[in-house]
Structure 1
Amino acid sequence: MTVLVLHHRGSLVSTPYGDWLADYDGDLLLITSREHLALAGEELPAPGGVFARAFAVEGYETSGRVEALALDLAREYDIRYVVACQRQDLERAAQLRDILGLPGQRMDTVRPFRDKVATKQRAEAAGLAVAAYRDLECAAELIGFAEEHGFPVVLGPRDGTGSAGPEILYSAGQLDEYLAERFDLPGPYLPDLMVEAFVPGSLCHVDGLVVDGRVVAAWPSEQQYAPASFATDTGPRLDLTLDLDDPLAHRLLKFAEHALDALGGPEHHAFHAEVFHTPDDELVLHGIACRTGGVTIRDTVRTVFGIDPSEASIRAQLGLPLPAWLTEQHVMPRRMSGRLALMKRPGRVVAVPEGAPPFPWVTRYQVFVTPGSTMAAAAHSSDFLLTALVAGADQAECRARLALVAEWFLAGLVLA
């Protein structure tokens, strides 16, 4: 009755599998990344504690050692479940379930969420709007797409794993420069690059939880900034949940449920759907993931609903009980939330404010630099100087509170 946990990146302290599965009657095994464990400043858990065995793999992202180790463990232990919360582990976990004949999401249901071309194909077939797109096998296809659809065009990996954010080309001159200096396909047989037409408007996201094939808790938020401006936008970047009486919120919920139905996800999972809201009041699907979103999304869902979506989805997969109020009906938010992000900017850090903000409604606060460090411009969309989450009664209160946090932090930030 053993559970194998795949943990690609992030803090193990903030992902307390032992607490989440304290009532599970069996052993827990862990395979994690040596590099990301070091980045988090954490040690590999000692055997016999939370985990019966724990392994840190060098070069986790590309090493076949992960699969080899998992299969070795399956010969030694009675592994009944493989769980994974992060996008880089979803396919690995599905492949291992396929090989070992275990319950949970398999490759045929994970691919529509991981492959953006497959996502768009299924969404289109279900009548949902998506941006024009094409997967690329050569430069000529990119040029032809730009001629057909005009500029801007958006480039990115079709598996959605690029950490540098989308590449947006606004003109034929930028396209020529890109082709001459940066255009690169990973190989002639498995192209990973795709191009999409630019969709104007705001980017919204719907985050929630599916249990027994039904959405039991979900709510939308709206980014108050241009996602691709991370390298130049040093001002406060706000992400706010929509109010209960906002008609757009309920349209987004229905749109996300329609997309989940179209993709045919697993029985139990968290999800993160990204949807453009255009100036013409149209909803256009950008992408959807069968996992908790990144960049403090877990904390946002916890603030809004009082549940951890990753914990709840894992417990549901293992058949462990969830709170009755969570599964009886579609849960509505208890309160609203907002996120503040400040991106890194060039300069040497002389001082940052000491301690946490002096506000009781701050639910998460993290600074990513220390005095003496030197910053460059943000290199990717999660290259943060600061992130903070607040709780509030409505969007207006969350916005005002985020402004107070930003003012407090910037007053104590000193850059050379």
Structure 2
Amino acid sequence: MISCGVLYVPIGCQGSRNENLQWRISFSVAEKILIFSFTHVQLLCYALLKLLVKEIVEKHDDLKTLLCSYFLKTLMFWISEELDPSIWSPDKIIQCFMACLKRLIYCVEYSTLLHYFIPDHNLFYLRFDVDKKDKVISILKNLFEKGIYCFARSETLFDIIELPLTATDSSISRRVATLHEIISTSFTLFLNRPLNLLYHFLHHASTSISKSIFFEMLTVAHQIVPQISQNQPRSNNKHQYDKYKRDLSHLMIGTNSDAVAGWLVLASFFYGNENYLLSLDIINHAFRKCTSEKMYPWQIGLDQTQEYLLHLLKQTELCTISKALTVKYPKFIYNSSISPQELQLTVNEQAIPFHPIIFAHFLSFLCYYHLHNVRSCKQSLLQLRQEIIKHFTTNLFNLYSEPLFIICLGIAHEMLAETDSARQCFLLAAHKDEHSLSNAAMRLSNCNVD
């Protein structure tokens, strides 16, 4: 900063008898360098402070020019010097902004804002008369109490920040649920008349909801296509490589269907191609996205930050919200070329969606098994068992999915040569399979023969 020097500007102190002779010392060069060193979050806080003053405080004519941008810039310099740099992170932007607003209230209340380069000079000295000072403090404190929703009165941000969500006003959750219900029905129709339905959405429906449905159906379809296509009996290496790239392209598009399911289908694809380490990386990525508020949104309330983020999403396309906030169940068709071959799904089992966490633990077990990582293999088996038990005790499974998940546990025990445990799992699965949808009975029979 010292090497930047200072500028002298021919502007005198307003009202001074020597105003025409005085010069002002300007630190604008150093200030620009400091501003350029700000993180994105610091810049956003500075911008929000300027919006607050310009579009809310200065709506009162008698308060215009009372709080100028230079004061806010100086305030940001002081706060940035005092706080640890790690505080200015994107997930703490609301807290950072509220801290800046709180400091502004303090400075006005005590008529103290020291110049950053000449601390002996108080920028707020005799700045406010009593009435204006009380009025500014009252307005700022009122805005502070409203939190981030103070910008509901801002011309720039009013359309994305409104009243907070309540337990009975979860409009976004309802919109996403409705979207999924429509998509589920549409996808059933899609399986029967795919070209007609997609053509209709593409050419005759231009609404936002229609575009979202089309996008969702398309992403799910991209998960199905690689499962249908099979290698030709006499395909050479080049043909197999072309198919690999083609299937991978489809599945990458399929990851846009929701937060998790598309990734797990992709992980299964890499597992089938014996790329176990990459499959594990993708599984871990999916685990990080399987948060409670996405898996069971009806059971968990929202804190203030989550409510605010939901409001930011209010103007977002439904398909984007769905991808960010929802978790679907991965599906594999009969004779799928990318599902784990250990499953050997029957025609009936293909209609049963996999619970994402259950499937992720099972796929992790398979990867570690083929990597000969015994410790991680047993750890995945333990986590699989615990997850199944947790879901049984909380009644989160439907009757059709229970046998399939127990079969996965049985397969894992069978691969580890734990025959008795495998037999118990297949026996339990067969007992719960009242509608004979799974191959539990056949597996039990084979296990008894062995």
User: Which structure carries more relative contact order (alpha carbon 8 Å, separation 6+)?
Assistant: 1
Q: TM-score normalized by structure 1?
A: 0.22
Larger C-alpha radius of gyration, 1 or 2?
2
Higher strand share: 1
